[in-house]
Amino acid sequence: MFEKMLRDNHLKITPQRLAILKEIQKFGHISIDEIYENIKESNPSMSLATVYKNLTFMQEAKIIDEVKLPNQKQRYELVKNPHIHLVCEQCGSIIDMELESSMQQLKELCADASQFKIKETSIAMIGICPKCQA
Ligand SMILES: [Zn+2]
Ligand SMILES: [Zn+2]
């Protein structure tokens, strides 16, 4: 699946890129430091700078997305349908909620009311997840 993704986007398939994509998929939303920690054992030749460079390439190719969350380290995720992030302030878990039509509506409301040309939408809800409430 990742081989095809890279090939379709004219990116060279390298073991490093595959390892990074696997980590992102496994964790859903992951920071560059976490990726590096998780793969350095099986990829000893890979430096933090290499991880960063590969992330940038894959972001430009729109295979992965930067996740912008308030008061949080930058994370990456695989490109998905537009979604809202629910962030637990206690355990740090991040849940995706696909509410595409509501997001579209909100975007149009904001654009109409402000005359802003909106380029991207990033919505996060901060709170306490069901597990941490228990
Ligand atoms: Zn939690
Ligand atoms: Zn997400």
The alpha carbon of 53 is separated from its chain's Cα centroid by a whole number of angstroms, namely 16
Q: What is the pLDDT of residues 8-20, one digit of tens each?
A: 999 999 999 999 9
Q: What is the mean pLDDT of the chain?
A: 94
Ligand 1 ion: Cβ-proximal residues, 5 Å cutoff: 88, 90-91, 129, 132
No. of H helices and E strands in the chain?
6, 6
Q: What is the pLDDT of residues 44-69, one digit of tens each?
A: 889 999 999 999 999 999 999 999 88
The residues, any chain, with a CB within 8 Å of residue 104's CB and separated by 6 or more, are 82
pLDDT band of residue 73 (cuts 50, 70, 90) is confident
Cβ-count burial 50-86 (b if 16+ within 10 Å, e if not): ebeebbebbeeeebbbebebeebeebbbeeeebebbb
State in Å: Cα 86 to ligand 2 middle. 9
pTM for this entry: 0.87
